[in-house]
Structure 1
């Protein structure tokens, strides 16, 4: 088992044990585990749909056209109730990451940055001087509402308070809140470190401009909504699916297809253009 899988499963175990130990007597360890599991799944799923499917593939790369009301709603709901991620800053940094991947100008990681440096950068990333996040939707009131420090602080206080009210115990709420966010650091490291180090994963496309790799195991693909298929994605960032072969497991694409069935999203004009070197007969969308 590769180190990123070991780390991921270990952090899930730590989360479970910490929540069992931190549960108040009225709830008990097994009740605490059930509540913590529900919190974990809801935070992960809402956050994954928001960031990986909507903000990433819908806004940053314009590969998918979501209903505007859905984009705005999930942006406010996720950032108020779950894991806060400034969408405007994220879109800007992500576009710069694709422009300068693994070299000077990449706000996520330079090729020479090791594990600990990249972990630090997950919390305190490189400064950006360019603004390439000027889409009209990023200037609408829901995005302006959430994309500032005042909202980030207020939302953090509010969702900790709300969680403590729901579980009727502040300590238990803090244990869940903190340990889940430690787990999100692992998600960041999968995408910023392990999938940008040629010692890990595999390369379908031999692009020399970056070190992007594909990591295709069940846990990282599921947790990241397929964002760990980085070599595929860097090769064809505008394609609406991250898998380049029907044999590649693609949880994110399955989620997008489910949202399409609900009428929440459709393919953009550029999102359906399959590059000649991608071995897909059709997108199956």
Structure 2
């Protein structure tokens, strides 16, 4: 295998000639979330802080364990009720419903760091970090080109804010299940209901810290896996992409920062392969396996690791403009 070419394409322009209504909805929602974080110091109390921290752990860890390892890569299996519970917790991270998230991620792995990748830094750091969210027209053509239709119907639906235009063809395993179809169709309502619940329990402090601050933090930590972990870090394994292991992202994102490990062995439930590679997502899966709940837990074989290990000095990170 050869080191991927450090080619950097001109970043996608933030100001395009046409913004779809979906792009407008997403940009308005994220602007409001970020703007309200300004008021967080004025509504600080320790109860609100710990609620925010607990929800950061629950939603962030569920993104890693459920959306990523369980649903996207099928690296282990759970009883359906427990699978749905973890997926519902992950849905409250405001990163999309299970069908859309898994579809986009599977597309990322299929076309990683190429023109078809939904969020590669070859188009610029900020594109891979967040700007790809505001380009649903291009995202649809990359993720589900066979179903690039029906714009008006989706745009009229304010309920499905974070859905792509069209139907993906790489998540039929999820689309067959009524639970995931229900979350897909009613996604925004769950966030509104939870925000109202937080407000009723703890007023504005709980709303701002439990919804706005927590959501913004989890979003950007997850986005760092797409951007930072394809630019800065170490490459231990000889993969055909720009993925890198970044210990800081691994610490913040519940093990997701061991990204070169993941791209080398994407079927593996364990991202932190060495004992010192902090991987809370793996610890949860191991606990579930120990009590007999998680089954068919996958991990890389020694032969596979020997085949991909790099026996040469680290290559420098690419320069992203």
Instruction: Give CA-to-partner distance per residue, 1:222-256, whole Å, 9 cap, x none.
Output: 33121111111101101221123233222221122
| Aligned position for 1:158 | 193
- The 3 A distance-change label for structure 1 pair 228 and 78 is closer
TM-score (norm 2): 0.68
| Aligned position for 1:11 | none
2:224 & 2:196 partners in 1: Cα distance? Answer: 30
Larger mean Cα displacement after TM superposition, 118-127 or 52-61:
118-127
From 96, 116, 140, the counterpart of 2:177: 140
| Aligned position for 2:158 | none
| Aligned position for 1:259 | 288
| Aligned position for 1:35 | 47
Counterpart secondary structure, 2:57:
helix
**1:154 Cα deviation after fit:** 1.4
Aligned residues: 245
1:21 & 1:241 partners in 2: Cα distance? Answer: 40
From 20, 42, 56, the counterpart of 1:21: 42
| Aligned position for 1:112 | 123
| Aligned position for 2:31 | none
**1:109 Cα deviation after fit:** 2.1
| Aligned position for 1:278 | 305
Question: Is 1:214 paired with 2:245?
Answer: yes
**1:171 Cα deviation after fit:** 6.4
The runs of 5 or more residues in structure 2 that have no matched partner are 1-35, 145-167, 307-321
Alignment check: 8 A CA contact 1:44 1:223 kept = no
| Aligned position for 1:174 | 208
The runs of 5 or more residues in structure 1 that have no matched partner are 1-14, 23-28, 280-285
Question: Is 1:201 paired with 2:233?
Answer: yes
Root mean square deviation of aligned Cα: 2.7
**1:157 Cα deviation after fit:** 1.6
From 260, 267, 274, the counterpart of 1:245: 274
TM-score (norm 1): 0.76
1:201 & 1:253 partners in 2: Cα distance? Answer: 21
Alignment check: 8 A CA contact 2:268 2:299 kept = yes
Structure scoring higher RCO (CA < 8 A, sep ≥ 6) equals: 2
Mapping 1:119-130, distance limit 5 Å: 119-122=130-133, 124=135, 126-127=139-140, 128-129=143-144, 130=168
**1:186 Cα deviation after fit:** 1.8
| Aligned position for 1:191 | 225
| Aligned position for 1:100 | 111
